[in-house]
C-alpha cells in the first residue's frame, strides 16, 4: 500500500522531531532479518530509550535535513533502519552493536554524533561511552580522590607516632 502525501509529511515531521532532540544516530542495513528478529530489535530499543524506525530513504533525507544528522543524507541508501539515542549518546550504538553480535545480517552503515559522520568502525567507540550515571560516578570519584588522600595523609602522622612509641617500648622491654 502506497503512502499518501499526508502520511509522508507525518513521518518526516516525526523523524525530524526525534532527530532534532537526539544525541546520536546509527543507520544499519537490516536486509535478511526476519520479522521476529526486527520485532525483538524494536522491543530492545524501547527498553533502552532508543527511537528505532524503518523509513524510506527519500523521507529520511528530508527528515534529517536541518538537524545535526544532515551529514548522513548521502549515505542513506538501501534498506536501512535508523536508531536515534534519546537519553544518552551511546544507547543506539550499544543496542545495534549488541544485536549485531547475534544477528550478523544487521550491518552498520552510518554513525553520527553531534554533526560528525563517523565510519562503521567507530560504532565500538561510541558504544563504549559511559551512560550519564556512570559518567557522574566517575566524576565524583575523581573529585573525591584528593580528599581521601589528604585524610589518609593526616591520619598517617598520629599512626606513625604510635608505631614509633611502640617500637621504643619494645626495644626497652627487650633490653631489660
CATH number at residue 125: 3.30.70.1730
Instruction: Say if residue 80 is in the same domain as residue 37.
Output: yes
CB atoms within 10 A of CB 29: 17
- Same domain (yes/no): 142, 64: no
The number of domains in the chain is 2
- pLDDT higher than 70, residue 41: yes
Q: Could you tell me if 136 and 123 lie in one domain?
A: no
pLDDT average, residue stretch 91-115: 87
Contact 48, 32 (CB under 8 A): no
Closest alpha carbon to 111 in 128, 92, 132, 131: 92
Tell me 50's DSSP state. E
106 and 135: one domain?
no
The residue with cell 520485532 is 39
Q: Is the pLDDT of residue 150 over 80?
A: yes
pLDDT above 70: residue 1: no
Q: Are residues 169 and 83 in the same domain?
A: no
Q: Is 4 a residue whose pLDDT tops 70?
A: yes
**What's the confidence (pLDDT) of residue 156?**
84
Pairing verdict, β 107-113 and 80-85 = unpaired
DSSP 72: G
Domain that holds residue 158: 130-176
Whether residue 128 has pLDDT greater than 80: no
Amino acid at each position: 500500500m502506497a503512502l499518501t502525501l499526508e502520511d509522508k509529511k507525518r513521518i518526516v515531521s516525526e523523524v525530524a522531531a526525534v532527530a532534532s532532540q537526539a544525541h546520536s544516530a546509527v543507520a544499519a542495513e537490516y536486509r535478511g532479518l526476519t520479522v521476529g528478529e526486527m520485532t525483538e530489535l524494536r522491543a530492545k530499543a524501547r527498553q533502552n530509550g532508543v527511537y528505532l524506525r524503518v523509513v524510506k530513504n527519500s523521507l529520511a533525507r528530508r527528515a534529517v535535513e536541518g538537524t545535526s544528522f544532515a551529514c548522513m543524507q548521502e549515505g542513506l541508501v538501501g534498506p536501512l533502519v535508523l536508531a536515534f539515542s534519546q537519553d544518552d549518546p551511546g544507547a543506539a550504538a550499544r543496542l545495534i552493536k549488541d544485536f549485531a553480535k547475534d544477528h550478523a545480517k544487521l550491518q552498520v552503515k552510518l554513525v553520527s554524533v553531534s554533526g560528525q559522520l563517523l565510519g562503521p568502525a567507530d560504532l565500538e567507540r561510541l558504544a563504549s561511552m559511559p551512560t550519564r550515571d556512570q559518567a557522574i560516578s566517575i566524576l565524583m570519584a575523581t573529585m573525591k580522590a584528593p580528599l581521601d588522600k589528604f585524610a589518609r595523609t593526616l591520619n598517617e602522622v598520629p599512626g606513625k607516632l604510635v608505631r614509633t612509641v611502640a617500637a621504643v617500648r619494645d626495644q626497652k622491654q627487650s633490653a631489660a
